Amino acid sequence: MGTFFSFVLLGLSLSVPIGAITVEMIKRGMKHGFIHSWLVGIGGMSADVLLMLLIYFGVASQLTSPAAKLILWTVGFFVLLYLGYESIKEAFKDAKVYVQKNSNHKQSKAFISGFLIAISNPQNIIFWIGIYGSVLASTVESVVRIGRLAEITRSIPAKH
């Protein structure tokens, strides 16, 4: 029961902070409507799933090497710098908060934007290596204990 509450607390702590994906979703939603905003979120979620799978299959040790850190931080810096530049550039334009019927923006661009923001955000990478890695390790340890207990109980001969 304690594990359940720790996962609920972890989920709540993840949903509270506003990050780069949330800001991009709000911007896309105001400019192009719900679908574009939703696709940015789906793109970000897809990047999170990819990072989870990479951590699950043991890529965390390669991502924590100095060369990989340098590459990830540099790429993340430029992606977030570009996002900030675009946000500042758009801030000085008049905001139009209506959806055009024939939007000329592609929906795939919204998905790719969300994916790239999430996959290159250094804060996101650190989170998945640090938090998810430790949660995964403790969960795997619990599963191994349950498996050992099942092996022990299965090896006890049944009395008829």
How confident is the model over 7-19, as pLDDT tens digits?
777 677 666 677 8
Dump pLDDT digits (tens) for 98-153: 555 555 567 888 999 999 988 888 778 777 777 776 666 666 666 556 655 555 55
CA distance 80 to 120: 8
* Residue in 14, 86, 4 with CA at minimum distance from that of residue 48: 14
For residue 33, being part of any structural domain is answered with: yes
- Mean pLDDT (whole number) for 89-103: 65
Domain count, the chain: 1
For residue 55, being part of any structural domain is answered with: yes
CA distance 40 to 29: 9
Q: Which residues contact 36 (CB under 8 A, 6 or more apart)?
A: 28, 29, 103, 105, 107, 110
pLDDT at 39: 94
pLDDT at 145: 60
Q: What is the reported pTM?
A: 0.63
For residue 71, being part of any structural domain is answered with: yes
For residue 154, being part of any structural domain is answered with: no
Higher pLDDT, 83 or 44: 44
For residue 7, being part of any structural domain is answered with: no
Question: The domain containing residue 65 runs over which residues?
Answer: 19-129
For residue 137, being part of any structural domain is answered with: no
pLDDT at 83: 76
CA-based Rg of the chain, rounded to a whole angstrom? Answer: 21
For residue 141, being part of any structural domain is answered with: no
For residue 40, being part of any structural domain is answered with: yes
Confidence bin at 45 (pLDDT 50/70/90): very high
